Amino acid sequence: MRQRKYTIEELIDDVSMPVVAYAGEAKSFLREALEHAKVGDYDKADQMINESRMSIERAHEAHRGVIQYSVMKPDSIKIPFILMHAEDHLMSVSSELNIFEELINIYKVIDKLNKN
């Protein structure tokens, strides 16, 4: 049986959708981390931050495939909307990770000060 050949557009869609999904998953973990931090459950907050990091790494792994292909064949890729959307999600959740980590650290400091 002969394997079907995929177009570059199909390959980009196959890469873009996991990037969007993993970035969305990472964002959900961040929001959950902040909720745990608000009630002082810092172990769970840290666990959710780590889950978010893993989802972001998975998104980067998927995105790397498109980057590598575009380096090998620069004239063959026209950037479709779905890829731009995926990259936007990935960039925003990467920034949010840094902000949420700082917010959680602030909650920890406030809790520590209130206990003294």
Residues with a known catalytic role: 85
Q: Give the whole-angstrom CA distance, residue 74 versus residue 77.
A: 6
Residues of the binding site for Mg(2+): 88
**Dihedrals φ, ψ of 40, to 5°?**
85, 10
61 near 53, Cβ under 8 Å?
A: no
- The widest CA-to-CA distance across the chain, in whole angstroms, is 72
Residue 15: how many other CB atoms lie within 10 Å? 20
